[in-house]
Amino acid sequence: MKNFSLDIAVLNSKDNLIQLTLHNLTDAPLQDWLLTLDFARFIFPESMSKGHVEQIGTFTKITPSENEVIKAGDYYQITFTIKSAPFTNYECGVREGYISSAQDNFVTHHPLSVSQITLQLPDVKPVDKITTKAADISLIPKVNQLTVQQGQFQLADMLAFTVSCEQAKLASHWLVDELRYAAQLTPATSCDANLEFNFAKSLQAGEYKLTVSDTAIDIEASSESGFIHAVASLLQLVKTDSEGQYFLSCVEVKDKPRFDYRGLMLDCSRHFHSIATVKRLINQMAHFKLNHFHWHFTDDEGWRLEINAFPQLTDIGAWRGPGTALEAQFSHLTEKYGGYYRQAEVKEVIEYAAKRGITVVPEIDIPGHCRAAIKSLPELLVDTDDKSEYRSIQAYTDNVLSPALEGTYQFLDAVIDEVCALFPSPYIHIGADEVPKGVWEKSAKCQALMKAHGYSEEMELQGHLLRHVENRIKSNGKRMFGWEEVKFGDKVSKNTVIFSWISEEAALECVNRGFDVVMQPSKYTYFDIVQDFAPEELGVDWAGTLPLEQAYGYEPLADLKSDDPLREHIMGVQCALWSEVVLTQDRIDHMFFPRLLATAEVAWSATQDKNWGDFCARLQAQKPYFERNKINYRKF
């Protein structure tokens, strides 16, 4: 039994009024104490009923007023109000905490027993379970044309194949790897082949034809991606009969993607995920024909990519917690936490992804979300004379680069050049989101820069900095990606691709101005968001609730008519997993699956071909794949 416990309750959800109760379960008084918590909401200091609070991100310290002692067996209770939406699930309360005291100079951390948060919630109807019978042919995403024939192709102990063109080699290698695992078969090349990869000049990039008869399998495509998509469909057709024998139904498939860009983003900054976990996810992406892996390397809470020009970024910025430059965030309050990817490991992932038709797109998030970088390189990135006052949405007051420091450009140029050299991707994502109001207002250097260029507001400095970055990326032969705020300050060119995450309206404005867009609206594609309305649901709740059917029902820029030429500016669709509360591979699985399959169909299949009931039937038939691959999917 722990010596201290903590209760947290929502007293008034409308006013965001919260109550904390700290219990001293020992037989001795607690004096000169400090309560340290991971708390996911900003507390208004002036709202504290007593005591004092300091917050850096989620790292929260609460101290009593002078000489307040908690007697043995007694408790200390405070109320306060919080910023942002009220709590709607248990996971968003206090996740971790400890007590320390001045008696040993706050060295000893006494763990807390944290009770489940008491919520004030309306009665809500849970999301209905899927009861549809599993489909016989369960291809996801739904293919353009499918003809089911009589008969089955029996997978013998030795499936023999022939490859007639260079474009099919990667697909054939992937097929061998997957069948060896899924069906305990080892296909081999042979002149007496019953599976043929054939080049078809008439087919577009990404397009394929797949024909399965009772004696042979024929795959046609004109591109590496087309052959890989065909293999993805073939693998989904593999089933077992009542005797455990593997077979494929006889079908004819003709198929091609709706959008060229079909993406998935994984945040590896807030919590670090291993190379093995990243590879596993990339392989799953290929099964459902997603083709861009957006790797979020950097944020306030960690810098995860080795940069040879600045080893401090990972020596310092990859770690947080006791004894480091960065306070603990989200988890691991009492221990050092972190990790980073060496460039050799990144090259390994890039090669692995390429073999599955997937491009790895790196993100280096600037000029906000830069606290890890700033703490790593203060000699370059800190303007000691800047007295600006701001607080980011994640409650940081020191996480934005200065556009007026020479060191900022020295840092950015070196990082961009190294990242561009490391990644074959034609795209580099530079973030550009959530720069808070108040930045640069009380910086003499920034104000002088504004005056020199005739800028009238500070946000133009963001545009100034991002224009420099865009030009640097362009000089490396790449194209810049950015969140929708990248256009703030109105300085970047129309060559920049906008990732719309806040609203459809912002994306519509962008395409009307001539920008290309990738649609990633949080309401439909942010899979860190809870999947049901029950308070036990895992995930965060800042963007509401995102059930599977809502993710499936997304239509990019639905207000545009199907033949509107502005639709040519929609490059594609992407889903995302931010990792504030995602620590493990099992949690990654739970948050992505089955919603990842919904996004895959949104990005691939024609609007008129989509049908929720039909999708549910095909999804039911994917359960053997989930279970065979030990995917900890959310039950549906």
Structure tokens at 153: 């192709």
Q: Is 491 within a domain?
A: yes
Is 14 a member of any domain? yes
Q: What percent of the chain has pLDDT over 70?
A: 100
The CA distance from 615 to 357, in Å, is 24
Read off the pLDDT of each residue in 571-583 and give the average, rounded to a whole number. Answer: 98
CB count within 10 Å of CB 502 equals 16
pLDDT tens by residue, 506-541: 999 999 999 999 999 999 999 999 999 999 999 999
User: What average pLDDT does the segment 243-251 reach?
Assistant: 93
Residue 114, token pair as written in the block? 């944290």
**Domain check: are 18 and 156 in the same one?**
no
Q: Mean pLDDT throughout 204-219?
A: 97
Find, among 369, 399, 394, the residue nearest to 381 by Cα. Answer: 399
Give me the CATH number covering residue 57.
2.60.40.290
Amino acid 157: pLDDT: 65
For residues 478 and 413, membership in a common domain is answered with yes
Integer CA distances (angstroms), 518 to 182, 262, 419, 426, in order: 34, 9, 22, 15
144 exposure class (CB count in 10 Å sphere: 0-12, 13-18, 19+): middle
Structure tokens at 157: 């102990």
Report yes or no on whether pTM surpasses 0.85.
yes
Residue 327 counted as domain residue: yes
Same domain, 442 and 501: yes
| Mean pLDDT, residues 623-628 taken together | 96
133, with CB counted inside 10 A (0-12, 13-18, 19+), is exposed
How many domains does one find in the chain?
Answer: 3
Work out the angle at residue 412's Cα, subtended by the Cα atoms of residues 407 and 418, and round it to the nearest 5 degrees.
130
Q: Which two tokens stand for residue 213?
A: 């008869």
Q: How far apart are CA 320 and CA 19, in angstroms?
A: 29
Residues 332, 277 share a domain: yes
Q: 528 and 543 share a domain?
A: yes
Q: Looking at the domain assignment, is residue 126 inside a domain?
A: no
Overall average pLDDT of the 327-331 stretch: 97
Active site residues: 299, 369, 434
Helix (H, G, I), strand (E, B) or coil at 249: strand
By percentage, how much of the chain surpasses pLDDT 90?
92
CB 500 within 8 A of CB 506: yes
The pLDDT of residue 531 is 97
In angstroms, the CA 611 to CA 549 distance is 11
Lowest average pLDDT, out of 75-79, 123-127, 228-232, goes to: 123-127
Q: What is the pLDDT of residues 108-132, one digit of tens each?
A: 999 999 999 999 988 888 999 999 9
> Are residues 568 and 477 part of one domain?
yes
Q: In the chain, what's the furthest Cα-to-Cα distance?
A: 88
Per the structure, the complete domain to which residue 89 belongs is given by 4-114
Name every residue whose Cβ is closer than 8 Å to that of residue 365 and which is 6 or more positions away in sequence: 269, 296, 298, 299, 430, 431, 432, 433
- What's the gap between Cα 621 and its chain centre? 26
The predicted pLDDT at position 193 comes to: 87
Same domain, 469 and 488: yes
Domain boundary among 226, 255, 284: 255
Q: Is residue 73 part of a domain?
A: yes
Q: How confident is the model at residue 92 (pLDDT cuts 50, 70, 90)?
A: confident
Distance CA 107, CA 363 (A): 38
Cβ neighbour number for residue 275 with a 10 Å cutoff: 14
Say whether both 196 and 320 belong to one domain: no
Is 119 part of any domain? no
- 8 Å CB contact between 597 and 287: no
Q: Is residue 133 part of a domain?
A: no
Same domain, 402 and 502: yes
Same domain, 232 and 331: no
d(CA 516, CA 498): 6
